[in-house]
């Protein structure tokens, strides 16, 4: 697990497990976590790593309703958690089925997942929310269904960084599950907006050319 500093106060944290990538954006008064980890234990490690960088009060945004991106939330204690309503609904009603599926698929996870309380996001991102972190405004955007019905991307305009969740994956083809809408996804990738660095939900940060190539690959898959 390592921190990558992508711009001043904008970090990605890479994990060997699932090649997962989490994010952290610092302002002068608050910080924002982009996803919270795969389970409560993993979330606790992430929380500790964040606290080595900053003591600022935190809030979180969950990019989409897949267990590996949000089951770490409980480790951060009570905090504001942003997500699209479709993501909040999936977390509330779909996590048990996701946990059952992955516990059967990868039995080593079963106990860790069973001990991870589900935290349902309490703040809504319908299409666009601006969060003032102090000295820096970040933008949370839902650009339409894609990898899931409720994907949210996080733009840090002053730093040229965009956290894309699983709308973009590096090191593996994008995961197209039963909850994906590939036709809409292709459109969403065309509307991400300007960014020098795009942080995927799994894999290393990439550039816009990589995103364009992935968009073409998805379009071809239709």
Q: What's the rounded Cα separation, in Å, for the pair 188 and 211?
A: 11
- Alpha helices (H) along 106-179: 110-114
Query: Is the sign of the CA dihedral 83, 58, 19, 130 positive or negative?
Result: positive
Contact window for Zn ion (CB under 5 A) among 5-13, 35-43, 62-70, 104-112: 62-70
Q: Is residue 66 close enough to count as binding Zn ion by CB under 5 A?
A: yes
Site pattern 103..142 for Zn ion (x: CB under 5 A): ----------------------------------------
Q: Do 95 and 40 meet the contact criterion of CB atoms below 8 Å apart?
A: no
- Least distance to Zn ion, CB of residue 139, Å: 21
- Pair of tokens at residue 143: 């650009």
Cα–Cα distance between 153 and 139 in angstroms, integer?
8
Part in contact with Zn ion (CB under 5 A); list of ranges 6-14, 41-49, 64-72, 125-133: 64-72
User: Interacting stretch for Zn ion, rule CB under 5 A, among 32-40, 87-95, 159-167, 187-195?
Assistant: 159-167
The reply on whether position 166 binds Zn ion by CB under 5 A is yes
Can you give the binding site for Zn ion, defined by CB under 5 A?
66, 166
């Amino acid at each position: 697990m390592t921190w990558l500093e992508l711009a001043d106060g904008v970090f990605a944290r890479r994990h060997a497990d699932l090649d997962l990538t989490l994010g952290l954006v610092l302002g002068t008064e608050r910080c924002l976590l982009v996803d919270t980890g795969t389970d409560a234990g993993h979330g606790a490690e992430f929380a500790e790593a964040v606290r080595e960088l900053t003591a600022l009060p935190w809030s979180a945004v969950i990019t989409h309703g897949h267990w590996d991106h949000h089951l770490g939330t409980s480790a951060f204690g009570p905090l504001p958690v942003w997500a699209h309503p479709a993501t909040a609904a999936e977390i509330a009603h779909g996590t048990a089925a996701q946990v059952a599926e992955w516990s059967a698929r990868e039995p080593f996870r079963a106990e860790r997942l069973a001990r991870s309380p589900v935290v349902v996001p309490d703040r809504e991102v319908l299409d666009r929310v601006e969060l003032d972190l102090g000295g820096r405004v970040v933008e949370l955007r839902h650009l339409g269904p894609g990898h899931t019905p409720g994907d949210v991307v996080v733009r840090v305009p002053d730093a040229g960084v965009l956290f894309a969740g699983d709308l973009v994956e590096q090191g593996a083809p994008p995961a197209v599950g039963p909850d994906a809408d590939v036709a809409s996804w292709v459109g969403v990738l065309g509307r991400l907006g300007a960014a020098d660095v795009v942080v995927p939900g799994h894999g290393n940060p990439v550039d816009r050319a990589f995103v364009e190539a992935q968009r073409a690959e998805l379009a071809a898959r239709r």
